[in-house]
Amino acid sequence: MNSYSLFSSGDEKIHRYKAVVNTTFERQKLWQHERNATADDDSYLRSSALQSAKEGNYVEAIALLNQLIHCYPDNAIDYNNRGLIYFQCGESQKAFIDYNTALQLNPKLAPAYNNRANYYAACGELHSAIEDYDRALDLNPSHVRAWVNRGITLRDLDQYQEAIDNFEIALLFGQLFGNILAERGRTYHLWGDWNWAIADYRHALNHLPQHSTTKDEPASRLRLQVENWLEELLS
């Protein structure tokens, strides 16, 4: 699992942390002030938290979700979202606790099973991961990311044909073409079918965005991986 560095070193840590906390407090005060004015406050706060996480502002995102969880302790989605952010910033045990809480509150929350499966996979508990991916897909057969993640985990178990089958099902939903083709190509690569691997890598690069200026952008990292895998085969 990749770990994410939240801050720089030295005094810059303090200044950036203060800036994040101040921004968070301002958002919370604004939210409290306008709480009775509109029914959209909660969804706005959730979207703000997820946007902060996407920008790498994990401290702010978690603080906003803490506020929501304090007000709505029975909302499984908030625990699942906070768990996802904990996982992204390397707090895997806290993420696991939040996923379990979310599933206790709502045993039919498919994304929480997918996220907990990712935790198991990152810890090397691949069979437990497969069980949770299966639960996610039983609840939501069109959960594309669960199909892709299940395929990756099957590949890690050396079950290459089953992995390919999962990627091909995922392709039927018309989403994440670049990601799916990249992972299917990697599976062919490891399986020894290099011609199919090269074809998938090239098609994946046609769908993946060009390199982002943000080094941690997932699509940018995947594109770099595909380029390296393709170069490895062609060389």
Name which residue leads in pLDDT, 52 or 114.
Answer: 114
Which residues are within 8 A (CB) of 35 and not within 5 positions of it... i.e. 6 or more apart? Answer: 41
Write down the pLDDT at residue 4: 31
Average confidence score pLDDT of the chain: 85
Looking at residue 162, its pLDDT comes to 98
Asked if residues 83 and 98 have their Cβ atoms less than 8 Å apart, the reply is yes
Question: From CA 107, how far away is CA 139, in angstroms rounded?
Answer: 10
Token pair for residue 126?
């691949």
Query: In the numeric block, which tokens belong to residue 56?
Result: 């790498």
- Say what the pLDDT of residue 46 is: 86
User: Model confidence over 36-71: pLDDT tens digits?
Assistant: 434 467 888 888 888 888 888 999 999 999 999 999
pLDDT band at 113 (very low <50, low <70, confident <90, very high): very high
pLDDT in tens, 152-208: 999 999 999 999 999 999 999 999 999 999 999 999 999 999 999 999 999 999 999
pLDDT value at residue 28: 53
Predicted local confidence at residue 21, as pLDDT: 42
Give the torsion sign (CA, 60, 64, 67, 72).
negative
Mean pLDDT, residues 83-100: 96
Predicted local distance difference test score (pLDDT) of residue 47? 86
| Domains defined for the chain, CATH in brackets | 10-107 (1.25.40.10), 109-173 (1.25.40.10), 176-235 (no CATH)
Q: Tell me which range, 26-35, 173-182, 214-223, is most confidently predicted by mean pLDDT.
A: 173-182
Measure the N-to-C terminal CA separation of the chain; round to a whole number of Å: 29
**Nearby residues of 151 by Cβ (< 8 Å), 6 or more positions away:** 162, 163, 164, 165, 166, 167, 170, 183, 184, 187
> Is 142 in a helix, a strand, or coil?
coil
